[in-house]
Amino acid sequence: MDVNLVQALALGSEAALSGIGQVQRARLEELLAHAGGAADEVARAIRAFVPEGSSAVVGVFADNDIWASLIVAVDNSGAPAPVGTLEGFASELRGGMAKAAADAVRRVDADFRPCALGLFLDKPHAETLLSASDKAAVIRAASMAGKLILSPVPPALAVALA
């Protein structure tokens, strides 16, 4: 699938790919392709839950390793800024989902804007989340299964999940 990831996520022309690895890009496109329309929902979620001047990181795990990831920074006007992945750091992000997630958030804080949203889940729950109409139910199910790390959580998302 030859899709421009920025266009697929409807982030607009102001968003630029920065540090996006080809393997993780292909995996992201694979996830989005199987969940038709999910890119629009991801773009809406970014606008709704990632505050201006901050960033978000999503990591999808397979066998306790980051299989795919997405980093989006939102500038001070609310427009998505650099988009990247954790591919270049994947070898450093080991030790289980909780440790890898914490390390990924620290990396995003250091290399992008302050991380306001960290969403990490296993691949089966990620696939379900992208195609589900009730996303909060999928997040709760992933949490109950021990397959979700949601940290940090922006206030708007905390309210939406309550």
Identify residue 115 by its one-letter amino acid code: C
Which residue is listed with tokens 């969403």?
A: 119
The pLDDT assigned to 1 comes to: 36
**How far lies 96's CA from each of 39, 59, 136, in Å?**
28, 12, 24
The pLDDT assigned to 4 comes to: 56
Measured distance CA(33)–CA(55) in Å, rounded: 24
The pLDDT assigned to 2 comes to: 39
The pLDDT assigned to 78 comes to: 82
Tokens of 18: 């920065």
The pLDDT assigned to 146 comes to: 95
Domain that residue 86 falls in = 5-161
Name the packing angle between helices 22-33 and 38-49 (round to 10°). 110
| pLDDT less than 50: residues of the chain | 1-3
